[in-house]
Homo-oligomer: A and B are copies of this chain.
Amino acid sequence: MTIPDHKLIYYIQRWVELNEAEESLILDAFEPIAVKKKKDLLVPGDVCRYVYFIASGAVRSYHVDEKGVEHIFQLSLENSWISDLESFFSQKPSNYYIESIEPSTLLRISYERLETLYAEVPKLERYFRILFQRAYLNALQRLNSTMWDTAEERYNDMIKENCSILQRVPQTYIASYLGITPESLSRIRKKK
């Protein structure tokens, strides 16, 4: 068992208990891959075939609008998940890019394999139920603050909660994730 494998099991065990048999079923189902910086894991038009667990590194998902502007959806560091779930679960073409922003090690599982894995390890339904529940609440909070807080408040919240990401990715990415322009973020930062 390699280090990234350990981490996946560790993070699943935070929410559901697994016996040894279940652990190996899970590990067998995931395929480890290593990617360099700036590698596309998904491009628009392709079906999103995998859900990725980030064992190390950083990955973003974004979409490019008609004017060519990038809108960042997710900025994910190690020990979290990333995918385009809409495309993944519908198995229809995606509108998004998923791209590594640092050299990263990932564990991926395909749609078909995940369905069979649910049958082999029913507890995983519980794990993903809890995971989506938390992701949903998180998205609602982000929605709430986007609707009702100023850009400055949102940036300050991000500083509080998420220090390391600010050091690791360009400010343009942070601005896009917050829903503002790089210029505005620069002005907000100057105020301090």
Does B118 contact A73, Cβ atoms closer than 8 Å? no
A residues neighboring B (CB under 8 Å)? 65, 71, 73, 85-86, 89, 118, 122, 125-126, 128-129, 132-133, 135-137, 139-140, 142-144, 146-148, 179
Question: Is the beta-carbon distance between A136 and B142 smaller than 8 angstroms?
Answer: no
State the Cβ distance, A165 to closest chain B Cβ, in Å: 18
Q: Are A147 and B89 in contact (CB under 8 A)?
A: no
- Inter-subunit contact B125/A132 (CB<8 Å): no
Q: Is the pair B85, A137 in contact by a Cβ cutoff of 8 Å?
A: yes
Q: What copy number does this chain have within its complex?
A: 2
> Which of B86, B133, B148 touches A85 (beta carbons < 8 Å)?
B133
Chain B residue contacts of A128, Cβ below 8 A = 129, 133
Known: A118-B126, A122-B125. A147 touches B179 (CB 8 A): yes
Give the docked Cα–Cα distance between A99 and B147 (Å): 21
* Chain B positions within 8 Å of A86 at CB level: 137
